[in-house]
């Protein structure tokens, strides 16, 4: 992955069948290496899904404080430790 710090500031990934396999596994060493490179150039990693925040967070043990999450179809948004948005959507 060749990241130019002047171009890419954020990478958002959908979990279900995109970033993660159907059993919610993914290449952890590759993720860790990519995240380290992204952090070095100021690029943010965002996990996006219709799933609940705590379910998504459980797939990234030890990293939830470094990632942003758009969960519950956009009804819950957290940037690292900061709750950005939370709403009840029927």
Active site annotation includes 14? yes
Catalytic-role residue among 14, 16, 23, 27: 14
**Which residues does 60 contact at the CB level (< 8 Å), separation at least 6?**
47, 67
Would you please indicate which residues are annotated as catalytic (active-site) residues?
Answer: 14
């Amino acid at each position: 992955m060749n990241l130019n710090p002047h171009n890419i500031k954020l990478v958002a990934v959908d979990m279900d069948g995109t970033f993660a396999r159907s059993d919610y596994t993914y290449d952890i060493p590759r993720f860790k290496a990519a995240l380290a490179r992204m952090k070095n150039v100021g690029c943010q990693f965002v996990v996006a899904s219709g799933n609940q925040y705590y379910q998504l967070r459980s797939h990234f043990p030890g990293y939830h404080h470094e990632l942003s999450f758009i969960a519950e179809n956009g009804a819950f948004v957290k940037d690292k430790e900061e709750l950005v948005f939370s709403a009840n959507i029927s």
